[in-house]
Structure 1
Amino acid sequence: MTTRAAIRAAHDSMADKPRQADKHIQTIRMLWNYAKNKLDWTLGDNPAANIDLFGKQKEFEPWPAWMIEKLDSAPDRVRVAAELILGTGQRPSAAIMMTWSQFNGEWMDVTDEKGDETYTVYCPKPLRDFLAGVRKEGRFVLAKNLTEQVTYNGVASAFQKWRKTLGPEAKKYTLHGLRKLAIVRLAEAGCTDAQIQAVTNQSAEMVAYYRKRASRKILSEEAHKK
């Protein structure tokens, strides 16, 4: 699809590969402009125009507490996706594709898409409790029907509409920021780097980056209390 919303959602879905994601946007812009201006096709405005690119230094900000508290007002698919990302530490696209069969009591099978690897980790109780209240409507947790899941684009589109209702201060936060928040929460809870990596399967450098942010929050709080 070439609607603006679909293009933006596709761009967000490739957030873990920002260079490829930005090239996708730039290619659509170039082809649309060529068809309209050189071939005289009767096209409207370029749907990829002025969509913000990730750029080389793009980082995904962990969601603030106030935004997590607003999840109760989010559409069901956004809330379920958010809980899956936070509870599993997976990339959004992997979390959104999870099936009920991946959950087995205190354990769950999660996927590292970059490494094309699936492994079993502990399923935290808050996630288990949340999923216990989710109605099973198909094979997938986020079910479109009995055999298909809601697509990433479907969740991303609903998220973007909901995010607009939260005001301009919410604009910089993405679904990927929930994964970063999962890391920060684990670090704040006192988990070691090895323990965090066992959950998220991220690089030592990425874990260290977000651990530093978590440590600063903890140390500053302790300092002020003293």
Structure 2
Amino acid sequence: MVEKLKHAPTKVKTAAELILGTGQRPNAAIKMRRDQFDGEWMIVTDEKQSKQFETFCPDHLRTYLSTLPRHGTFVLAKNLTEPLGYDAIEKAFRNWRATLGDKARPYVLHGLRKLAIVRLAEAGCSDAEIQAVTGQSAEMVAYYRSKASRRTLSRSAQKRREK
């Protein structure tokens, strides 16, 4: 389903890019302001702990955001000064998902955060590196790491050994 996001409505695609690129909860990603992105760095909000922290902004997210027109203070703007709400994005996501058929029904917006963490693990990131991106506890990182593809991880491990 993730590969079909490139054809999703703009607000769904943008929300997905923000969640996948930041590793944050959907609501925090949806409420991101343009001024939270500064070149290679972004300020993300850990909603659970009510903290903000600076983390590196991946190239693909930076590139994607540069293609979007500015409609206000927020990346996903309702108007000049307010973000679109979680409910509006989640409803748009569900409507888009419904066009993909029954196999897409299990997929939810929060699953994109989980996928972001799994992708970091599969890329060979340490738990500390994943925590630096997501702000999650060591226990949660370990839990999501267990969902990473054994095939992907084993390939990465064996190739490192060959160097």
- Could you tell me how far 1:215 is from its partner in structure 2? 4.8
Q: Any residues of structure 2 matched to 1:1-226 within 5 Å, and which?
A: 67-219=1-153
Measured at CA, do residues 221 and 170 of structure 1 come closer, stay the same or move farther in structure 2, by a change above 3 Å?
farther
Measured at CA, do residues 220 and 195 of structure 1 come closer, stay the same or move farther in structure 2, by a change above 3 Å?
closer
2:161 aligned partner: none
State the SS of the aligned residue for 2:32.
coil
Q: Which runs of 5+ in 2 are unaligned?
A: 157-163
TM-score normalised per structure 2: 0.91
In structure 1, give the amino acid aligned to 2:132. A
Q: Measure the CA separation in 1 of the matches of 2:155 and 2:126.
A: 20
- Could you tell me how far 1:214 is from its partner in structure 2? 1.4
Q: RMSD value over aligned CA atoms?
A: 1.4
- Could you tell me how far 1:87 is from its partner in structure 2? 0.3
**Deviations 1:74-110, CA, capped at 9 Å, x for gaps:** 1111000000000001100000000000000000000
Q: Taking every aligned residue pair, what percent have the same amino acid on both sides?
A: 63
- From the CA coordinates, give the structure whose radius of gyration is larger: 1
**Deviations 1:87-144, CA, capped at 9 Å, x for gaps:** 0011000000000000000000000001000011100000000001011110000011
**Deviations 1:161-195, CA, capped at 9 Å, x for gaps:** 11011111111111100000110111111100000
Q: Which runs of 5+ in 1 are unaligned?
A: 1-66
How many residues end up aligned between the 2 structures?
A: 156
TM-score normalised per structure 1: 0.66
Q: Measure the CA separation in 1 of the matches of 2:63 and 2:37.
A: 12
Measured at CA, do residues 107 and 219 of structure 1 come closer, stay the same or move farther in structure 2, by a change above 3 Å?
closer
